[in-house]
């Protein structure tokens, strides 16, 4: 969290892990605060409608990390296709024994959230590898439907979750797990909250999925699992992504400080 002050006005810049309640926002407003800039893709850092009620501007930085997250998805896909045994695992490192794996060409990939920035770019990358890509998005256009999703999950070797993390808590339901007939690899590129933890444990124990990869933190109960790989929300952590983030934040700060016409 950082507070920028200029000409007697203050702007607060929030990162992914920064959380504020209504009292925090009210105090900021009362000390010449004019607005908040979300420097990450998270929308849940402050209570909904609180800024509007207090007359605080809000701006979100978006799009800076798309390519980085898609490249992480590719890394996890390759890891899942070749890693057969985890030799050791700590918070800082993973040591693998690579055995005979499978090629990605002609494997079925289901991208959920295919119309978003990450999903649409991921579709192109997977297609370039020769994978057969099935697309689904919650937007009720282009023939997308719940029955379509259940049908394509039935064929999936890999499933990618690219949906909005804030509005889709426990999105991937038991019905979706049961539709996965080929024990696919499930790769969650958004938030761990997309899947209920108890349901995830059941899915792994009953082999509804072969393994689970997530770009987020996981609770200790998963730390020793050989079928779970987590990257602690570092999908956007590349040099280029951070440079785009810094440039984007500076632009938003300048715009917010600019006198209103």
pLDDT tens digits for range 152-171: 999 999 999 999 877 788 99
Higher per-residue confidence, 249 vs 219:
249
Whether residue 217 sits in one domain with residue 88: yes
What's the domain range around 98? Answer: 66-230
Whether residue 112 sits in one domain with residue 38: no
Whether residue 100 sits in one domain with residue 18: no
- Cα–Cα distance measured from residue 171 to residue 167, given in angstroms and rounded to the nearest whole number: 9
Q: Are 37 and 16 in contact (CB under 8 A)?
A: no
Whether residue 167 sits in one domain with residue 98: yes
Q: How confident is the model at residue 225 (pLDDT cuts 50, 70, 90)?
A: confident
Look up the CATH number of the domain holding residue 203: 3.40.50.720
Whether residue 133 sits in one domain with residue 82: yes
3-state helix, strand, coil in the chain (%, to 5): 35, 20, 45
Q: What is the reported pLDDT for 41? A: 64
Whether residue 119 sits in one domain with residue 75: yes
Whether residue 196 sits in one domain with residue 138: yes
Q: Are 137 and 122 in contact (CB under 8 A)?
A: no
Q: What is the dihedral of CA 85, 91, 92, 95, to 10 degrees?
A: -10
Q: What is the reported pLDDT for 96? A: 66
The pLDDT tens digits of the residues spanning 33-78 come to 999 999 876 666 788 789 999 999 999 888 898 999 999 999 999 9
Q: Report residue 8 as tokens.
A: 């007697």
Whether residue 29 sits in one domain with residue 99: no
Q: How confident is the model at residue 109 (pLDDT cuts 50, 70, 90)?
A: very high
How large is the C-alpha radius of gyration of the chain?
21
- Cα–Cα distance measured from residue 228 to residue 225, given in angstroms and rounded to the nearest whole number: 6
Q: What is the reported pLDDT for 237? A: 86
What's the predicted TM-score (pTM) here?
0.85
Whether residue 242 sits in one domain with residue 156: no
Whether residue 156 sits in one domain with residue 54: no
Whether residue 209 sits in one domain with residue 147: yes
pLDDT above 70 (res 93): no
Structural domains of the chain, count? 2
Whether residue 247 sits in one domain with residue 130: no
Contacts 24+ apart (CB under 8 A), 196-203: 196/170, 197/221, 199/170, 199/173, 199/174, 203/177
Q: How many residues does the chain have?
A: 261
Higher per-residue confidence, 220 vs 213:
213
Residue 81: strand, helix, or coil: helix
Q: What is the reported pLDDT for 182? A: 96
């Amino acid at each position: 969290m950082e507070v920028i002050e200029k000409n007697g006005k203050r702007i607060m810049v929030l990162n992914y892990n920064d959380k504020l309640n209504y009292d925090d926002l009210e105090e900021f407003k009362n000390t010449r605060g004019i607005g908040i800039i979300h420097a990450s893709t998270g929308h849940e850092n402050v209570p909904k409608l609180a800024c509007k009620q207090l007359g605080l501007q809000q701006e979100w930085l978006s799009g800076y990390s798309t390519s980085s997250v898609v490249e992480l998805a590719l890394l996890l896909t390759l890891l899942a296709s070749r890693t057969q045994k985890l030799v050791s695992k700590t918070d800082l490192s993973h040591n693998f024994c690579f055995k005979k794996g499978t090629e990605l060409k002609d494997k079925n990939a289901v991208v959920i959230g295919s119309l978003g920035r990450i999903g649409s770019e991921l579709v192109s990358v997977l297609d370039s590898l020769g994978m057969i890509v099935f697309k689904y998005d919650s937007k009720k256009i282009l023939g997308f439907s719940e029955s379509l999703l259940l049908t394509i999950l039935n064929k999936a070797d890999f499933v990618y979750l690219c949906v909005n993390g804030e509005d889709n808590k426990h999105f991937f339901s038991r019905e979706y797990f049961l539709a996965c007939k080929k024990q696919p690899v499930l790769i969650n590129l958004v938030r761990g909250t997309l899947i209920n933890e108890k349901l995830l444990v059941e899915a792994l124990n009953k082999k509804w999925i072969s393994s689970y990869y997530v770009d987020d933190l996981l609770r200790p109960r998963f730390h020793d699992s050989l079928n779970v790989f987590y990257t602690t929300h570092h999908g956007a952590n590349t040099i280029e992504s951070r440079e785009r983030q810094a440039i984007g934040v500076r632009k938003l700060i300048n715009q917010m400080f600019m006198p209103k016409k």
